């Protein structure tokens, strides 16, 4: 009996000092002391060994112990319910755990801006497959087999079927739209394209283009100029000027390349514009009549213009990123800088 009372006294102290750091500490306490296999229940089992004249005293001591344990359990439950951890001081002034906000990839930011500008001019977004057949990627675009223009682009061919390629430009999407839709056609085609190039700061085996196509009656080069001028001013600001240089593309005639006044030096000359004051941003031209005929569009009735640009190039001019590889390395230190942009 003496030994039991001693044990109960120690237990009371243990219960009084019970503290935990776990969220479910109240439940742990209940299982340990008040559960059906708990310490108190176990001690109650000793009753049968107690001499009859001491049973009353033992019962009282046990009742006190049980009451103490129940009070402690209540206080643990309340502490848990208020969001505090029982037995642990909670400092409300401590700063919270930071949560890193995600951000859009710079290419996605630029893509969304380009799409939104052209949408305001009535252009709809069109998309197509990245694995393309020869017809849509080359032949339909006025580049028949052995056409020299095919050499301008290093193509990835699909081994199992040499008629399939990874599309080298998003012009293949234009081909697919012209196949199905009759004029007026007013689309832009943003997407990823592939070229068999060695990866370096200035070249990559995949990159992103946006091409535009507008076909209707009486579409002229003046419409092309005005459309692209609107785009440039929306994208780079009202002070930016444009100029056109004659060029060659198989699917347009006449063809041109468009420069904008340098966005870094404003035309005074710097390393980005190689001290010319101008930077090239896109290729364009009037849709070749043969292209229209390829798709059964009457080239005597309809005319059109087309343009295409690299999103990485626009990104480079907007954010001054000089190494193409950064766009696909998924380096969080690079990507974090665009968090907050839309
Ligand atoms: Zn410059």
Q: Mapping DSSP to helix (H, G, I), strand (E, B) and coil, where does residue 300 land? A: coil
**Cα(first)–Cα(last) distance of the chain, in Å?**
77
State the burial class of residue 303 (Cβ atoms within 10 Å of its Cβ: 0-12, 13-18, 19+). Answer: buried
Q: Which of 83, 91, 88, 82 is nearest to 21 (CA)?
A: 88
Average pLDDT over residues 215-241: 95
Instruction: Give the orientation angle of helix 311-319 with respect to helix 106-120, to 10 degrees.
Output: 110
**pLDDT band for position 45 (cuts 50, 70, 90):** confident
Neighbouring-strand partners of residue 243: 259
Give distance in angstroms: CA of 277 to centre of ligand 1.
Answer: 5
Question: Has this prediction a pTM greater than 0.75?
Answer: no
Cα–Cα distance, 281 to 260 (Å, whole number) = 7
Average pLDDT over residues 148-171: 82
Give distance in angstroms: CA of 18 to centre of ligand 1.
Answer: 72
Cα–Cα distance, 241 to 131 (Å, whole number) = 37
Give distance in angstroms: CA of 270 to centre of ligand 1.
Answer: 4
Give distance in angstroms: CA of 241 to centre of ligand 1.
Answer: 13
Whether the upstream peptide bond of residue 319 has omega within 30° of 0, thus cis, is no
Q: What are the structure tokens assigned to 245, written together?
A: 């240089």
Give distance in angstroms: CA of 208 to centre of ligand 1.
Answer: 24
Give distance in angstroms: CA of 269 to centre of ligand 1.
Answer: 4
Handedness of CA 169, 172, 177, 178 (dihedral sign): positive
Compute the mean pLDDT over every residue in the chain, rounded to the nearest whole number: 88
Give distance in angstroms: CA of 205 to centre of ligand 1.
Answer: 27
Cα–Cα distance, 156 to 166 (Å, whole number) = 6
Give distance in angstroms: CA of 233 to centre of ligand 1.
Answer: 17
Give distance in angstroms: CA of 261 to centre of ligand 1.
Answer: 8
Cα–Cα distance, 64 to 12 (Å, whole number) = 9
Find the helix or strand (DSSP H, E) in which 261 lies: strand 252-261
Give distance in angstroms: CA of 72 to centre of ligand 1.
Answer: 75
Q: What is the pairing mode between strands 185-194 and 131-133?
A: unpaired
Average pLDDT over residues 22-34: 82
CB 137 within 8 A of CB 168: yes
Does position 120 have pLDDT exceeding 90, yes or no? yes
pLDDT single digits (tens) 280-320? 999 999 999 998 998 999 999 999 999 999 999 999 888 88
Determine phi and psi for 317, rounding to 5 degrees. Answer: -70, -35
Which of 79-83, 84-88, 336-340 is the most confident on average? 336-340
Q: Which of 211, 223, 234 is nearest to 125 (CA)?
A: 211
* CATH 3.30.930.10 given to domain 107-338: yes
Buried b (16+ CB within 10 A) or exposed e, 125-148: ebebeeebbbebbbbbbbbeeeee
* 14 labelled binding-site residue: no
- Domain map of the chain by residue range? 2-81, 107-338
Determine phi and psi for 254, rounding to 5 degrees. Answer: -70, 165
Give distance in angstroms: CA of 150 to centre of ligand 1.
Answer: 33
């Amino acid at each position: 009996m003496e030994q039991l009372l001693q044990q109960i006294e120690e237990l009371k102290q243990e219960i009084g000092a019970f503290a935990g750091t776990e969220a479910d500490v109240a439940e742990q306490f209940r299982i340990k002391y008040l559960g059906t296999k708990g310490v108190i229940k176990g001690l109650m089992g000793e009753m049968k060994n107690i001499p009859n004249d001491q049973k009353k005293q033992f019962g009282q001591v046990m009742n006190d112990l049980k009451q103490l344990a129940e009070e402690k359990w209540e206080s643990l439950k309340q502490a848990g319910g208020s969001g505090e951890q029982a037995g642990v001081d909670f400092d409300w002034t401590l700063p919270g755990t930071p949560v890193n906000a995600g951000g859009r990839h710079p290419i996605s930011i630029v893509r969304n801006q380009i799409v939104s500008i052209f949408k305001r001019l009535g252009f709809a977004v069109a998309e197509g497959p990245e694995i393309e057949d020869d017809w849509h990627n080359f032949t339909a675009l006025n580049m028949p087999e052995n056409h020299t223009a095919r050499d301008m682009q290093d193509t990835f061919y699909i081994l199992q079927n040499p008629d399939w390629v990874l599309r080298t430009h998003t012009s293949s999407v234009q081909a697919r739209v012209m196949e199905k839709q009759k004029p007026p056609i007013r689309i832009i085609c943003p997407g990823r394209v592939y070229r068999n190039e060695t990866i370096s700061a200035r070249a990559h085996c995949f990159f992103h283009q946006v091409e535009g196509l507008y076909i209707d009656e009486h579409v002229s080069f003046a419409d092309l100029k005005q459309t692209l001028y609107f785009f440039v001013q929306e994208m780079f600001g009202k002070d930016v000027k444009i100029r056109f240089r004659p060029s060659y593309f198989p699917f347009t005639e006449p063809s041109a390349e468009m420069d904008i006044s340098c966005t870094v030096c404003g035309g005074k000359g710097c390393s980005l514009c190689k001290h010319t004051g101008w930077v090239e941003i896109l290729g364009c031209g009037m849709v070749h009549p043969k292209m229209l005929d390829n798709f059964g569009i009457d080239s005597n009735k309809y005319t059109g213009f087309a343009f295409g640009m690299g999103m990485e190039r626009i990104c480079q001019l907007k954010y001054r990123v000089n190494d193409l590889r950064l766009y696909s390395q998924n380096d969080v230190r690079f990507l974090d800088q665009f968090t907050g942009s839309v």
